[in-house]
Chain A
Amino acid sequence: MDFGFTETQTMLREQLARFFRERYDFDTRQKMLAREGGRDPAVWKAFAEELGILGAGFPESLGGLGGGAVEHMVIMEELGRAIAIEPYLDTCVIGGHALLAASGPLAESLVPGIIAGDVIMAFAWAEPKSRYNPARIATRASADGAGWTLDGHKAVVLAAPWATHWLVTARTSGSPGDRDGVSLFLVEAGVPGVTRRDYPTVDGIMASELYFERSRVGPHALLGREGEALPLVEELLDRAAAATCAEAAGTMRRLHELTLDYAKQRVQFGQPISRFQVIQHRLVDMLMEVEQAVSMAYQATLRLDLPAPERARAVSQAKAKIAKGARFLGQAAVQTHGGIGITNELAAGHYFKRLTMLESRYGDQDHHLARLEALMMAEAA
């Protein structure tokens, strides 16, 4: 057994941590959110050109660094610490894995673009009525000559306004909820017939509603086999959930540090509030959640390559546990800060907002517990 990181992984973490310390502090981040488009594209360029991290999870044969899920985890933890808004999860974790799974000429044509920072991807899997079930979708794709025509509404597509390519799930047969009939398409942003409505999210990311109306895409847009994409979509969501666990662990660790610092310097009744036992115990309970979150992020990450049911169990356990811990920690951090914790002035409040969003991103606690119960029942049967 080995929970150590390789020298390369440690370097990756330190390099990224330094970048965030020096060029992505809280004030800088807030200024980026206020910019046209809601981000600073130079950061993504620096990820590609200065840090060279965008290829961390890709094979060397495609120009990557030959890493995998552990590298993603390290990067996501650091992004979480900085409450970054960069679309790494969307592009490199989800997009990267989808392209590698599809293999062939498409991956070869797009992966170098991702590594160079020119290609950004967004995953359009949710719909207004899907909740967290990727099979409960109504968007349709019909064969149209050599290509396909898409019709439907994809909801809260994170990073869609920034993306050059969208991964879109659509039904080629069946009805919402059916496991068969789900197909996955790679759609170039700006394809005719799509209305995009962009908005910021409460945690500072940009997202879109995508409305497809007789949108025509070519024959090569279909990734994998028609109607059989659900297992891949589920795997993408599991990888996204595991990466989100790592992100949350980083965000929780940092918010705990901020709260501890605050409690040490805030004086009431003639002493720092950190001297009060009620505050000490709360800070300890928070730390226990941080440590368990990190453990669960490892656990999920290291089991991503197992067969689907085992992978699902590992990821759902991690996400359910972290959703609960993130809520507790965020609320405890605000309560310990008092009024100042609810203002937009201090970083702590923004960490709380991000954690609140991470609770339910790629499935909330109820969703993952229900999935675990279903796995348990299937095992017992």
Chain B
Amino acid sequence: MDLAFSPAERAFQEEVRAFIAENYPAELRGKQEEGEELAKEDYLKWHRILHAKGWVAPAWPKEYGGPGWTATQRYIFSEELARADTLPILPFGINMVGPVIYTFGTAEQKARFLPRILSGEDWWCQGYSEPGAGSDLASLRTRAERVGDHYIVNGQKTWTTLAQHADWGFFLVRTDPAAKPQEGISFLLIDMKSPGITVRPIITLGGEHEVNEVWLENVKVPVENRVFEENRGWTCAKFLLAHERTGIAGVARSKRGIERLKSIARIETDDDGRPLLHNPFFRRKVADLECDLTALEFTELRTLAGEAAGRGPGPESSLLKVKGTEIQQRITELVLEAVGHYAAPYFRAFPEGSNEYPIGPAHAHRAAPTYFNMRKTSIYGGSNEIQRNIIAKMVLGL
């Protein structure tokens, strides 16, 4: 056992760090610190910079445009991105549909879609959940009927993240209503500009427009846009869910979050006027949280080592998801506590372009909305209840 990176890995770390320092757009840094809502173009700007460098899809095999990194290199890369607090690379194309296409797709599908995912030309969204199919995803009812060389798709999807920007969506649809739930599902790639698609915003508790409802009414989808065999889309879905969970631990982002929490707690004062970080009650909570994060980090490293030794991410990724999201949520609780009274003002209500100076310290502005918003993490990507079911079944054999 050895905790240290090899000299080559350390050199790689230096290279990544230097690249980010030299290339991350300064204007994005400013926007994030101000807590401004990010536009499509903001995400794409950083995406294109990484693409030009050949680093946008760390996990992709070299033949499809990945950098050919080891698991350790990928870990270092994601650590460095988080350390520098860059915008995330949106997962829908790179981490989700891309791997499905290069694993299950035809040569034509690979040639058509993969380069545009890498370049950022196509923005992807995920059509999985439905109003009646959340944790029980296999009960989905969006129907695709085969008519000649097309499918006609009807139904409703929900919680579709950033669909308002999307060019393409990958959808789970029912192609055989008579079969068992998991056996009648197909995986379709749908052009979001197709007639019959309506995207409606869902506004979440902090006032954000992040998720949407997507309505499909007689949407015509060419059969060539189906990935893998008809009625075997569940195989793609399961594969994708496993992919979605790797990295969901968010260790590096949480480290950064705790650093930010500490810097806030150095500025905020307690009832006696001391910095909050000197308050024994508060600092103990921070120390406790750091213990949880270290335990998660080393659990992730053990998983990573297993992966490097050729064992794929298995049900233990459910553990990473549960603990990772609990820690992310705990950070937002402590930030909320730290800012005290100034958690209350609601800023989204300020008129656009208002030049009034904001109320309370800047670090307090997003404390409550972020706390509210982060409740989603124990619900999305397979709720934490479902993750526990997976561990019970797959690990404990119950």
Task: Assess whether A214 is interfacial by the CB under 8 Å rule.
Answer: no
Task: Assess whether A209 is interfacial by the CB under 8 Å rule.
Answer: yes
Known interface pairs A202-B368, A342-B205; A131-B376 also in contact (CB < 8 Å) = no
Nearest-neighbour CB distance to chain B for A56, whole angstroms, equals 27
Within 8 A of B (CB), among A345-376: 345, 349, 352-353, 356-357, 360, 364, 366-367, 369-370
CA distance A327 to B341 in the complex (A): 17
Which of A199, A201, A343, A357 interacts with B202 by CB under 8 Å?
A343
Which of A201, A338, A352 interacts with B344 by CB under 8 Å?
A201
> Is B207 in contact with A334, judged by CB distance below 8 angstroms?
no
Task: Assess whether B337 is interfacial by the CB under 8 Å rule.
Answer: yes
- State which of B27-35, B256-264, B267-275 sits at the interface with chain A: B267-275
Task: Assess whether A267 is interfacial by the CB under 8 Å rule.
Answer: yes
> Is B135 in contact with A341, judged by CB distance below 8 angstroms?
no
CA distance A177 to B271 in the complex (A): 9
CB-nearest residue of chain A to B383:
A338
CA distance A334 to B377 in the complex (A): 11
Known interface pairs A331-B375, A366-B337; A156-B205 also in contact (CB < 8 Å) = no
Within 8 A of B (CB), among A103-124: none
Query: Binding site of A, secondary structure by majority: helix, strand, loop or mixed?
Result: mixed
> Is B204 in contact with A342, judged by CB distance below 8 angstroms?
yes
Which of A197, A335, A342, A357 interacts with B359 by CB under 8 Å?
A197
Task: Assess whether A132 is interfacial by the CB under 8 Å rule.
Answer: yes
Nearest-neighbour CB distance to chain B for A364, whole angstroms, equals 6
Binary contact readout B187-220 vs A (1 if CB under 8 angstroms, 0 otherwise): 0000000000000001111010001000000000
Task: Assess whether A6 is interfacial by the CB under 8 Å rule.
Answer: no
> Is A269 in contact with B271, judged by CB distance below 8 angstroms?
no
Task: Assess whether B159 is interfacial by the CB under 8 Å rule.
Answer: yes
> Is B375 in contact with A338, judged by CB distance below 8 angstroms?
no
Which of B205, B270, B340, B375 interacts with A335 by CB under 8 Å?
B375
Which of B203, B281, B343 interacts with A366 by CB under 8 Å?
B281
Residue numbers in A under 8 Å from B158 (CB-CB): 339
CB-nearest residue of chain B to A199:
B345
Within 8 A of B (CB), among A197-226: 197, 199-203, 207, 209
> Is A129 in contact with B375, judged by CB distance below 8 angstroms?
no
Task: Assess whether B342 is interfacial by the CB under 8 Å rule.
Answer: yes
Task: In the A-B complex, list the 10 residue pairs whose CB atoms are closest, starting with the nearest.
Answer: A268-B136, A133-B271, A156-B341, A201-B344, A202-B346, A344-B203, A202-B368, A366-B281, A269-B136, A200-B346
Residues of A whose CB lies within 8 Å of any CB of B are 126, 128-129, 131-133, 136, 155-156, 176-177, 197, 199-203, 207, 209, 267-270, 278, 327, 331, 334-335, 338-339, 341-345, 349, 352-353, 356-357, 360, 364, 366-367, 369-370
A-B contact pairs, 10 of them (CB 8 A): A131-B271, A133-B271, A203-B344, A269-B139, A270-B139, A343-B205, A353-B372, A356-B336, A360-B337, A364-B340
